[in-house]
Amino acid sequence: MKFELIDHIVELSRGERIVAVKAVSLAEEYLADHFPTFPVLPGVFMLEALVEAGAWLVRDAQDFAAPIILLREAKNVTYKSFVRPGNVLTLTVTCRRLARDQSDFAGVGHCRDEEVVRARFGLVHATTEQPLGTNAQVDQKWMAAARTRFADLCR
pLDDT tens, position by position, 117-136: 999 999 999 865 544 444 44
Q: Which residues contact 99 (CB under 8 A, 6 or more apart)?
A: none
Straight-line distance from the first to the last Cα atom of the chain, in angstroms, rounded to the nearest whole number:
26
Taken in order of first residue, the domains within the chain and their CATH numbers are 17-154 (3.10.129.10)
Q: Using one digit for the tens of pLDDT, what is the confidence trace for 46-78?
A: 999 999 999 999 999 999 988 889 999 999 999
Q: Using one digit for the tens of pLDDT, what is the confidence trace for 6-31?
A: 999 999 999 999 999 999 999 998 88
- The whole-model pTM stands at 0.92
Task: Give the Cα separation of 134 and 131 in Å (integer).
Answer: 6
**Is 110 among the residues known to form the active site?**
no
Q: Which of 8, 34, 110, 125 is catalytic?
A: 34
